[in-house]
């Protein structure tokens, strides 16, 4: 069992390929809604308000909420349902980012297909704010493993399997970019992004950032109540990739295994890794595998079927918000829906 828990920790330790340390502004962002404050047109406004672009839908949600409050708007590059790990910029996307006053990105290697575009935007004078590095990010694999017996021999046995090309190819480094699964960090992000936008667009952005932060902190209490309603001995997570480390840290959960090794959805598991994961699920009595709405659940379905019993695959909104009728069309709504689905699956 411990050998498969090691699987959840298997991530690269080199610097992410192509990651540009872009114009550090005292900024960061993510959250609330892809509501009216976010648009798909980055045409510069005529009233002098800043042209703001966000990479992911989660970032577009919070930045859009802040901007709408302050009388501005945000363009989000990725569409609803896009996987940030797998999204590539079109020529139009590149032009949108290059033409912006402020570009809000997640960073830490999350947007693998946007690195060149973000570098071009920074070179052309846009203020590019990478969010995740500003929020005291945790390391991959550091969550929910206190006291977990784990030997170097087990690590070396996995390393000698000869199927690491996929891990090296999609190496994210040791820091986890999935910061939005900690709502307290995202409340801080709202303040930071509001302050950053105030430097370009006026003090209203800072006030609105603080307001959005308060909304997030209030909602976090509801999320906490849902997740802490699960008995402690059932707070065991198996996920499609290593994305819920921040949630595990905050609410006392253990990430016992992952279907896809590491923190990207682009890697491919070996048959040995999948077999070991099945054994963990059986040994721990795990009732659910949490998959990602932005990607196929075929591998998770196969693992659940092999594990047998009543193991179900439950989809969460991981890398993208949902559409208008999904119940996950804002950051807060997404987090509440995810918490409800986790609690329902693990309490059953």
pLDDT of residue 280: 96
Instruction: Specify the pTM.
Output: 0.79
CA distances from residue 347 to 85, 199, 214, 231, 285 in whole angstroms, order as listed: 31, 47, 30, 7, 12
Q: Where are the domains of the chain?
A: 222-347
Query: Between 162 and 226, whose confidence is greater?
Result: 226
Q: Classify domain 222-347 at the CATH topology level.
A: Rossmann fold (3.40.50)
pLDDT of residue 221: 98
pLDDT of residue 269: 86
pLDDT (tens digit per residue) in 296-321? 899 999 999 999 889 999 999 999 99
User: How far is Cα 135 from Cα 125, in angstroms, rounded to an integer?
Assistant: 24
Q: Give the SS3 label for residue 191.
A: helix
Which contiguous run of DSSP H or E holds residue 39?
Answer: strand 38-39
> For the chain, first and last CA: distance in Å?
23
pLDDT of residue 23: 34
pLDDT of residue 171: 44
Q: What's the CA angle centered on 42, arms 96 and 265, to 5 degrees?
A: 55
Half-sphere exposure in the Cβ direction for 231 (13 Å, CA): 4
Longest CA–CA span in the chain (Å) reads 63
pLDDT band at 15 (very low <50, low <70, confident <90, very high): very low
Edge-to-edge strand ranges of the sheet holding 102-105: 38-39, 74-76, 52-54, 102-105, 127-130
Residue 226 in this model has a pLDDT that exceeds 60: yes
Distant-in-sequence, close-in-space partners of 255: CB < 8 Å, separation ≥ 6: 8, 143, 144, 145, 237, 238, 239, 242, 244, 245, 248
Query: Between 93 and 13, whose confidence is greater?
Result: 93
**To 10 degrees, the CA torsion angle through 288, 109, 295, 308?**
-30
Per cent of the chain over pLDDT 70 is: 76
Considering only CA atoms, which of 150, 172, 318, 185 is closest in space to residue 239? Answer: 318
pLDDT of residue 268: 82
pLDDT (tens digit per residue) in 149-164? 333 333 433 333 334 3
Share the mean pLDDT of the chain: 82
Q: What's the CA angle centered on 104, arms 98 and 106, to 5 degrees?
A: 120
What is the number of helices (H) and of strands (E) in the chain? 12, 9
User: How far is Cα 216 from Cα 198, in angstroms, rounded to an integer?
Assistant: 20
pLDDT of residue 13: 26
User: How far is Cα 193 from Cα 205, in angstroms, rounded to an integer?
Assistant: 8
Report the sign of the C-alpha dihedral through residues 321, 324, 329, 330, in that order: positive
For residue 80, the 8-state DSSP code is T
pLDDT (tens digit per residue) in 162-201? 343 333 333 446 899 999 999 999 999 999 999 999 999 9
Q: Are strands 254-258 and 74-76 parallel, antiparallel or unpaired?
A: unpaired
User: How far is Cα 292 from Cα 239, in angstroms, rounded to an integer?
Assistant: 8
**Mean pLDDT of all residues in 19-47:** 37
pLDDT of residue 47: 60
pLDDT (tens digit per residue) in 80-118? 999 999 999 999 999 999 999 999 999 999 999 999 999
Query: Between 68 and 7, whose confidence is greater?
Result: 68
pLDDT of residue 51: 96
**Mean pLDDT of all residues in 331-337:** 98
pLDDT of residue 173: 66
Residue 31 in this model has a pLDDT that exceeds 70: no
Mean pLDDT is lowest, of 138-147, 214-223, 269-278, for: 138-147
Which contiguous run of DSSP H or E holds residue 206?
Answer: helix 204-227
Residue 19 in this model has a pLDDT that exceeds 50: no
Residue 25 in this model has a pLDDT that exceeds 70: no
**To 10 degrees, the CA torsion angle through 332, 139, 11, 264?**
20
pLDDT (tens digit per residue) in 253-271? 999 999 998 667 777 888 9
């Amino acid at each position: 069992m411990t050998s498969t828990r090691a699987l959840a920790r298997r991530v690269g330790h080199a610097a992410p390929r192509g990651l540009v340390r872009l114009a550090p502004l005292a900024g960061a962002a993510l959250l609330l809604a892809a509501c009216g404050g976010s648009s798909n047109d980055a045409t510069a406004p005529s009233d002098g308000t800043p042209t703001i672009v966000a990479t992911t839908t989660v970032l577009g949600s919070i930045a859009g909420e802040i901007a709408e409050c302050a009388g501005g708007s945000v363009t989000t590059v990725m569409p609803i349902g896009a996987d940030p790990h797998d999204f590539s910029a079109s020529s139009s996307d590149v032009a949108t980012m290059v033409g912006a006053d402020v570009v809000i990105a997640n960073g830490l290697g999350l947007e693998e297909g946007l690195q060149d575009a973000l570098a071009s935007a920074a070179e052309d004078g846009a203020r590019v704010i990478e969010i995740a590095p500003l929020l005291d990010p945790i390391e991959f694999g550091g969550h929910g493993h206190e006291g977990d017996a784990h030997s170097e021999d087990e690590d070396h046995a996995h390393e000698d399997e000869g199927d690491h090309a996929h891990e090296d190819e999609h190496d994210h480094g040791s820091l986890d970019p999935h910061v939005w699964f900690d709502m307290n960090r995202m409340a801080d992000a709202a303040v930071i992004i509001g302050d950053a936008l105030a430097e370009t667009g006026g003090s209203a952005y800072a006030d609105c950032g603080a307001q959005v932060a308060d909304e997030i902190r209030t909602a976090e209490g509801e999320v906490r109540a849902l997740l802490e309603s699960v008995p402690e001995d059932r707070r065991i997570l198996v996920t499609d990739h290593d994305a819920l480390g921040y949630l595990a840290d905050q609410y006392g959960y253990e990430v016992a295994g992952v279907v896809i090794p590491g923190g990207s959805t682009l890697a491919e598991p070996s048959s040995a890794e999948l077999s070991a994961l099945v054994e963990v699920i059986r040994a721990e009595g795990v009732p659910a595998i949490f998959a990602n709405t932005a990607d196929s659940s075929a591998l998770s379905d196969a693992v659940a079927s092999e594990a047998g019993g009543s193991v179900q695959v439950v989809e969460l909104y991981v890398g993208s918000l949902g559409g208008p009728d999904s119940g996950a069309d804002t950051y807060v709504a997404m987090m509440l829906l995810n918490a409800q689905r986790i609690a329902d699956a693990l309490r059953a």
